[in-house]
Chain A
Amino acid sequence: MSLVLTLVGLLLVTFVIGRVMPIDPVLKVVGERATQAQYDAAYQAMGLDKPLWQQFLRYMAEVLRGDFGRSISTGHPVAQDLKRAFPATLELAALGTLIGVCVGVPLGVIAAARRGGWVDQIARVVALVGYSMPIFWLGLMGLLLFYGILGWVGGPGRQGIIYDGMVPMVTGLVLVDSLIAGDWGAFRDAFSHIVLPASLLGYFSLAYISRMTRSFMLEQLSAEYIITARVKGLSERRVIWGHAFRNILVPLITVIALSFGSLLEGSVLTEIVFSWPGIGQYITKTLLAGDMNAVLGGTVVVGACFVALNIFSDILYRLLDPRAK
């Protein structure tokens, strides 16, 4: 129930913002040269002459049918655009989060265990740079070095030109689809294109994850049961990984889920630098064009993901937290 309310609330807020924004969506449809008559016709066709609440109810009914209307900046149904854009972002964010978790969690744990040691110092610098460096600049520098000079990775875009559109779409995730098709060349190509932007996002997410892991661990390590465990003569390794780490798993999952969610919506600049045809780029472009159907559709999808991630981490909580059993 609360889930439904959350989504309705999200729809309502984005809808209202969309309608009160000082941008005229009709102009995008009719263009600069249109006469008043053409303008009025488009205004009516878009249903903008109806009262706001009627527009909203109509919109709700359509969304329930999975119909987000037609985007005025692409000419396609929004649902169809999202079906293309969302997997691109999902793939990028998932790989980014994976990198963030695989590096960030161990880094945070070790930093806490050897507090003040050299690993801790490195982790601190890594996180600081991650927080403060503009992603736009870092992306361009990465492209220049690894693509332009060294030639280790693919350039901007999701796939090389030769492979573009060659692998049939099944899941929309190019890495997965190329494996399904058994096209090793296409997989390599897609991997070489995703590795740099995903590492970049992974870096930003690991900066966050490692800091949080470290502070969770420090809290645990100063708890009484750890002292007891040490007094009992358990090895340091068992104390850290067996006892303390197990206890931070639950809050850590929330951190990772949140980090994943923020990559889903926050990778806009990365997507622009790497010409990545994902949802961040889609929402930004359509927003600037005043294309409200597309913005609302994109926002709803990202919002629904956040809700889903929350539910998912709640379920994991139950499964992992012994007190909930």
Chain B
Amino acid sequence: MQNRFSLRTLLLASAVSLAVPASAAWAETPADTLVIAHQIDDIISLDPGQSFEFSGQDVVNNLYDQLVDLDPLDVTAGVKPSLAESWEVSEDGKTITLTMREGVKFHSGNPVRAEDAAWSLQRAVKLNKSPAFILNQFGFTPENVDEMVSFEGNKLTLKLDQPYAQSFVLNCLASEVGSVIDKETVMAHVEGDDFGNTWLSTNDAGAGAFTLAAWRPNEVVQLAANPDYWQGAPAIKRVIVRHVQESSAQRLLLEQGDIDVARNLTPTDVDGVSGNDKLKVMDDLRGRILYMGLGQQDPLLSKPEMIEAMKYLIDYAGMESSFLKGQWKVHQNFLPEGYLGASDENPWTHDIEKARAILTDAGITSGTVKTIVRDIREYVDAAQTLQAAMAQVGLTLEIQQMTGAQVLDAYRARQVPIFIGEWGPDYADPNTNASTFAYNPNNAADAGLSQLAWRNSWAVPEEMNQATVAATLEGDTDKRVQMYLDIQSQYREIAPIIPMFQKIEQVAMQQNVQNWTSGGSVSSVVYRQVTKE
């Protein structure tokens, strides 16, 4: 009996000793390490020529530098020199010559040359993955790109098929697909005709401020500072982005000091941490637009009066102050705030009487429409709010829930009558959203286009199509801004795709984290300027 007692005591004591000191050891993260909790399960590839998901671009943006770049502390200020230190546009506006910065090295130690830059752009076009279209806009095709993009000495020359606005070209080059890749390193890992894509999907060959230490899908991304970075070694030596699915788990980790930054807190958890003086919450206005598309194949939704009435049936302010609280703000234009040419006019309000009057004048007093929404809380709540408003004017909304993949399937096949969802800009230029929302060169059912206008079967008026194209060619930036304001003004009048809100990313972090940026509305996260004091 005596023996047993002491054994039990020993077990208990060892259990306690296991637990207690271990917990004390996690009091805070090391001073030179930035630990972030984030949902990173969307990463498919870290190849700049392929990566096109939010979290993947966050990683690529820190591993690679582009020819031109945005200032992480002022992302809306426009592009500035990066690996290219200057550029010239030819008289006819169809040739851009960039001069490469001297003395910059890739992570491998190889020098960054104009040859690498040319090869990187050619590679992205030939690889022809999702983001290739950003470069293809300048008339590049896999067949002609070797001729259109060339180099000589430390100069890189881009020949364009039209005299595009300089801002348009540079904004596109600043996106992740414009990353300059270490040609020698990647060429050593080419398999078949994959341009090194398989290898580069899980490895890095950049010249950026960080190198890739590890990526375990759905688990963690670890970055290590590049001590030889040409803009100076980052203050943070190690960045760990850990996949934590649950908002409440992220909040607990933050409150316990195990992480420095939590990026996916729900409004409830943001409320919860905002009372804690060791923590702060930063609002970063992102580029994502929450919109409602009215499929024009539906006989009811294609009536102009119905389109107009729907704009008054949406309860913008009500949704903003309830279930979207703090994470979305009302924004009724397709260009997000922070973009060149963005408009801040939000003319529509929730006005049932006005909607009723418009519908009654048009002889619409009843009808049924269907919406297929993704099983995301905000979308379903938005659909239900709309359902209640429509019921007040005699309209019935049938709501069908599906997974993301299923909804996208149906949407691409133009089979969604009312679509509620988000659109994120693909690069830092207004054409990214203009060409998506307000451009549809071919409304035929078999055109197979990716534009939102096409997906909603909206035959965009020819003058709007032309205006959208013309805006990419306008060299005078002030005039270009006015052109986008005009397009959006007309768009608000007639378009059946209704922008409703713009995303606000609420990032909660320890008080000592300084200079954080999620990338604002035009870019991805950047770590090199972050410090912990």
Which of A7-15, A159-167, A216-224, A312-320 lines the interface with chain B?
Answer: A159-167
Whether A156 contacts B23 in the complex (CB less than 8 A), given A74-B44, A162-B30, comes out as: no
CB within 8 A of A31: which of B23, B46, B52, B217? B52
Contact residues in A for B130 (Cβ distance below 8 Å)? 30-34, 38
- What is the CA–CA distance of A144 and B255 in the complex, to the nearest angstrom? 11
- 1/0 contact string of A273-306 vs chain B (CB within 8 Å): 1110100011001001110000000000000000
CB within 8 A of A161: which of B19, B258, B404? B258
Whether A33 contacts B450 in the complex (CB less than 8 A), given A27-B412, A155-B249, comes out as: yes
Contact residues in B for A31 (Cβ distance below 8 Å)? 52-53, 129-130
Contact residues in A for B20 (Cβ distance below 8 Å)? 152
- Decide if B139 is an interface residue (CB 8 Å cutoff): no
* B220 x A188 contact (CB < 8 A): no
* B22 x A189 contact (CB < 8 A): yes
* A152 x B243 contact (CB < 8 A): no
B15 to chain A minimum Cβ distance, whole angstroms, is 9
- What is the CA–CA distance of A161 and B240 in the complex, to the nearest angstrom? 8
A197 to chain B minimum Cβ distance, whole angstroms, is 12
- Decide if B218 is an interface residue (CB 8 Å cutoff): yes
* B30 x A35 contact (CB < 8 A): no
Contact residues in A for B412 (Cβ distance below 8 Å)? 27, 32
B402 to chain A minimum Cβ distance, whole angstroms, is 9
A-B contact count (CB 8 A): 160
- Decide if B529 is an interface residue (CB 8 Å cutoff): no
- What is the CA–CA distance of A41 and B130 in the complex, to the nearest angstrom? 12
* A35 x B448 contact (CB < 8 A): yes
* A76 x B202 contact (CB < 8 A): yes
- What is the CA–CA distance of A290 and B44 in the complex, to the nearest angstrom? 13
* A281 x B218 contact (CB < 8 A): yes
- What is the CA–CA distance of A162 and B252 in the complex, to the nearest angstrom? 18
- Decide if B29 is an interface residue (CB 8 Å cutoff): yes
* A75 x B408 contact (CB < 8 A): no
Contact residues in A for B35 (Cβ distance below 8 Å)? 161
A20 to chain B minimum Cβ distance, whole angstroms, is 13
**CB interface residues, B 372-395, toward A, < 8 Å:** none
Contact residues in A for B240 (Cβ distance below 8 Å)? 161, 164
- Decide if A148 is an interface residue (CB 8 Å cutoff): yes
* A285 x B405 contact (CB < 8 A): no
Whether A153 contacts B23 in the complex (CB less than 8 A), given A76-B217, A81-B217, A288-B404, comes out as: yes
**CB interface residues, B 213-245, toward A, < 8 Å:** 214, 216-220, 222, 240, 242-245
* B244 x A275 contact (CB < 8 A): yes
Contact residues in A for B244 (Cβ distance below 8 Å)? 156-157, 275
- What is the CA–CA distance of A140 and B248 in the complex, to the nearest angstrom? 8
* A75 x B201 contact (CB < 8 A): yes
Contact residues in A for B201 (Cβ distance below 8 Å)? 75
- What is the CA–CA distance of A73 and B42 in the complex, to the nearest angstrom? 7
* B18 x A192 contact (CB < 8 A): yes
Q: How many residues of B sit at the interface, in one of the four size bands?
A: 35 or more
Contact residues in B for A275 (Cβ distance below 8 Å)? 242-246, 249
B354 to chain A minimum Cβ distance, whole angstroms, is 34
- Decide if B502 is an interface residue (CB 8 Å cutoff): no
Contact residues in B for A140 (Cβ distance below 8 Å)? 246, 248-249
* B255 x A33 contact (CB < 8 A): no
B422 to chain A minimum Cβ distance, whole angstroms, is 11
- Decide if A258 is an interface residue (CB 8 Å cutoff): no
- Decide if B253 is an interface residue (CB 8 Å cutoff): yes
Contact residues in B for A238 (Cβ distance below 8 Å)? none
* A273 x B409 contact (CB < 8 A): no
- Decide if A84 is an interface residue (CB 8 Å cutoff): yes
- What is the CA–CA distance of A260 and B530 in the complex, to the nearest angstrom? 46
**From B222, which residue of chain A is reached at the shortest CB distance?**
A165
- Decide if A94 is an interface residue (CB 8 Å cutoff): no
**CB interface residues, A 232-279, toward B, < 8 Å:** 272-275, 277
Contact residues in B for A36 (Cβ distance below 8 Å)? 448
B233 to chain A minimum Cβ distance, whole angstroms, is 22
Contact residues in A for B249 (Cβ distance below 8 Å)? 140, 143, 155-156, 273-275
- 1/0 contact string of A116-146 vs chain B (CB within 8 Å): 0000000000000000000000001001100
* B406 x A22 contact (CB < 8 A): yes
* A192 x B248 contact (CB < 8 A): no
Q: Which of B18, B202, B216, B219 counts the most chain A CB atoms within 10 A?
A: B219
Contact residues in B for A148 (Cβ distance below 8 Å)? 252, 255-256
* A73 x B256 contact (CB < 8 A): no
Whether A33 contacts B23 in the complex (CB less than 8 A), given A24-B409, A156-B253, comes out as: no
B134 to chain A minimum Cβ distance, whole angstroms, is 9
Top 8 A-B residue pairs of the complex, sorted by shortest distance between their CB atoms = A36-B448, A74-B217, A31-B130, A151-B23, A192-B22, A277-B219, A75-B201, A23-B405
A-B contact pairs, 30 of them (CB 8 A): A22-B409, A23-B403, A30-B129, A31-B53, A32-B408, A34-B130, A71-B217, A74-B43, A74-B44, A74-B218, A75-B201, A84-B216, A140-B249, A143-B252, A151-B256, A153-B19, A153-B23, A155-B256, A155-B258, A156-B253, A157-B244, A161-B29, A161-B240, A161-B242, A162-B26, A164-B220, A165-B222, A188-B21, A189-B22, A281-B218
Q: Given contacts A28-B405, A275-B244, could you give 18 more A-B pairs where the C-beta distance is less than 8 Å?
A: A22-B409, A31-B52, A32-B130, A33-B130, A71-B217, A73-B44, A76-B202, A140-B248, A143-B252, A148-B252, A151-B256, A161-B29, A188-B18, A195-B19, A272-B246, A275-B242, A277-B219, A289-B405
